[in-house]
Amino acid sequence: MKLTISIVAAITAASLLIVFPGGQAKASSAVKRQTEAANEQAAAAEPDPLPARRGLYEKLSLFTEIPWNWIAAIDQYERSMSKVRPKARPMLGSTVGVFIDQERWVGPLNPNTDDSSPASIRFFNGIGRDGDGNGHAERTSDVDLLYSLVSRVAAYGTTEDDFAIGLWEYYQNNRSVQRIQQFARIYAAFGRLDLFEHAFPVPVGTNYAYNSTWGTGRSWGGRRTHEGTDIFASHGLPVRSTCYGIVEVKGWNPYGGWRIGIRDLNNFYHYYAHLSGYDKTVNIGDVVKPGQVVGWVGSSGYGKPGTSGKFPPHLHYGVYSDRGLIEWSFDPYPMLRRWEQAERKRIRAGK
Ligand SMILES: [Zn+2]
């Protein structure tokens, strides 16, 4: 019992150390695609919240016996949902991304919508729990928010299969379960939270050309808009992962030819199409890092499996943001420019 109390105290101490500016991004539909890039830049300028988060996950892991990478994955998935729907999911705590609406927190039939009493919340089957040991289940406390969600999900057990059931019961949605499993694997593979570096999709310094072509019309396969940037290069130039992520899709598609799709921790899906082939060591479910070769530039697509040469060789690179039930495409061009410049600088500095 004494041990439990000291862990609770440690968690509380960790939560007090967390500093976060608390600004919220506004997303109007007109500036949607610029917003993603702006968010990323803004995030880079803020003080690093990761050490405090890591401390919180580890302490909560000790307390609940749930692996830290699962806790981190849930928090990061929640954060990605809040980023795309900031009005519906305002930031409740200081550093965790968890959003739980008031009714779910106190219980649907609870007459006291501001209830913070753990006993009466439990009575009304609310989710709110007291994780930091101060006697209150507060929806504004990082520890209470994360602890409440994690303990609800872990109610079915703590093996990977139990966890999948708990996630499904909580989210009622297979996509959410898949995302959190993917995030947990990425965290497990690298053992850290700091996984937001990027690389340009082809080696910088080689011969290639690209322009901003997002949203323009295209000819094949009916009326579609162009959801990406085309990087023209010769056949066989290496295609590299732009991010830390996990391979979600690999194989033939009539439009994209041999294509590969990689999910990152921002819940962005990076899509590479028209490849001439794949690096054979990279398969669905594998974790990749920025700059890792996943395939080669080609001109596959626009027909049956193996169709090639219907257009000049190029890499089609698209990025999609997951909004929970749907994904939207946003213009990767500004990010590509940034990653290219950063890589040029690294090359010049001899790194
Ligand atoms: Zn394209």
- What's the CA-to-centroid distance between 214 and ligand 1, angstroms? 8
- What's the CA-to-centroid distance between 77 and ligand 1, angstroms? 29
Same domain, 107 and 220: no
Return the pLDDT at 42.
Answer: 54
- What's the CA-to-centroid distance between 292 and ligand 1, angstroms? 21
- What's the CA-to-centroid distance between 103 and ligand 1, angstroms? 45
Nearest-5° Cα angle at 260, 314 to 278:
75
- What's the CA-to-centroid distance between 230 and ligand 1, angstroms? 5
* Distance from the first to the final alpha carbon of the chain: 51
- What's the CA-to-centroid distance between 182 and ligand 1, angstroms? 27
- What's the CA-to-centroid distance between 18 and ligand 1, angstroms? 43
- What's the CA-to-centroid distance between 258 and ligand 1, angstroms? 13
- What's the CA-to-centroid distance between 249 and ligand 1, angstroms? 18
**Owner of token pair 């019992």:** 1
Let me know if residue 98 belongs to a domain: yes
For CA atoms 274, 276, 278, 284, the dihedral sign is positive
pLDDT winner (highest mean) among 23-27, 105-109, 152-156: 105-109
Same domain, 252 and 310: yes
Helix (H) or strand (E) holding 133: none
Same domain, 150 and 30: yes
- What's the CA-to-centroid distance between 16 and ligand 1, angstroms? 48
Average pLDDT over residues 304-321: 96
- What's the CA-to-centroid distance between 207 and ligand 1, angstroms? 18
- What's the CA-to-centroid distance between 227 and ligand 1, angstroms? 7
Return the pLDDT at 65.
Answer: 87
Return the pLDDT at 41.
Answer: 56
> What is the domain-level CATH number for residue 300?
2.70.70.10
Same domain, 180 and 283: no
- What's the CA-to-centroid distance between 42 and ligand 1, angstroms? 28
Nearest-5° Cα angle at 128, 122 to 131:
110
Average pLDDT over residues 286-297: 98
- What's the CA-to-centroid distance between 261 and ligand 1, angstroms? 14
Let me know if residue 144 belongs to a domain: yes
Let me know if residue 197 belongs to a domain: no
pLDDT digits (tens, 9 = 90+) for 137-186: 999 999 999 999 999 999 998 899 999 999 999 999 999 999 999 999 99
- What's the CA-to-centroid distance between 43 and ligand 1, angstroms? 29
Same domain, 136 and 226: no
- What's the CA-to-centroid distance between 220 and ligand 1, angstroms? 11
Let me know if residue 196 belongs to a domain: no
Instruction: Please state, for a pLDDT cut of 70, what percent of the chain lies above it.
Output: 85
- What's the CA-to-centroid distance between 97 and ligand 1, angstroms? 34
- What's the CA-to-centroid distance between 268 and ligand 1, angstroms? 18
Q: Domain count of the chain? A: 2
| Of the residues 190, 218, 250, the one at which a domain ends | 190
- What's the CA-to-centroid distance between 257 and ligand 1, angstroms? 11
- What's the CA-to-centroid distance between 4 and ligand 1, angstroms? 56
pTM attached to this predicted model = 0.85
- What's the CA-to-centroid distance between 213 and ligand 1, angstroms? 8
- What's the CA-to-centroid distance between 160 and ligand 1, angstroms? 38
**Owner of token pair 């690093």:** 48
In the chain, at which residue ranges do the beta strands (DSSP E only) sit? 208-210, 217-218, 224-225, 229-233, 238-240, 245-253, 257-264, 268-278, 287-288, 293-297, 314-322, 327-330
Let me know if residue 200 belongs to a domain: no
- What's the CA-to-centroid distance between 285 and ligand 1, angstroms? 25
151 DSSP assignment: H
Same domain, 247 and 320: yes
> Is the pLDDT score of 52 beyond 50?
yes
Instruction: Please state, for a pLDDT cut of 90, what percent of the chain lies above it.
Output: 77
- What's the CA-to-centroid distance between 299 and ligand 1, angstroms? 11
Same domain, 92 and 214: no
Let me know if residue 183 belongs to a domain: yes
The DSSP-derived string for 241-278 is -SSSEEEEEEEEETTTEEEEEEEETTSEEEEEEEEEEE
Please name the residues in contact with 341: beta carbons below 8 A apart, sequence gap of 6 or more.
none
Task: Report the b/e string of 87-102 with b at 16+ CB within 10 A.
Answer: eebebbbbbbbbbbee
Residue 245 pLDDT grade (very low, low, confident, very high; cuts 50, 70, 90) = very high
Let me know if residue 153 belongs to a domain: yes
Return the pLDDT at 314.
Answer: 97
Same domain, 102 and 242: no
- What's the CA-to-centroid distance between 275 and ligand 1, angstroms? 12
Same domain, 172 and 321: no
Same domain, 229 and 148: no
Mean pLDDT (the chain) is 87
- What's the CA-to-centroid distance between 20 and ligand 1, angstroms? 39
Same domain, 12 and 143: yes
Q: Which domain holds residue 171?
A: 2-190
Same domain, 148 and 213: no
| Of the residues 141, 164, 190, the one at which a domain ends | 190
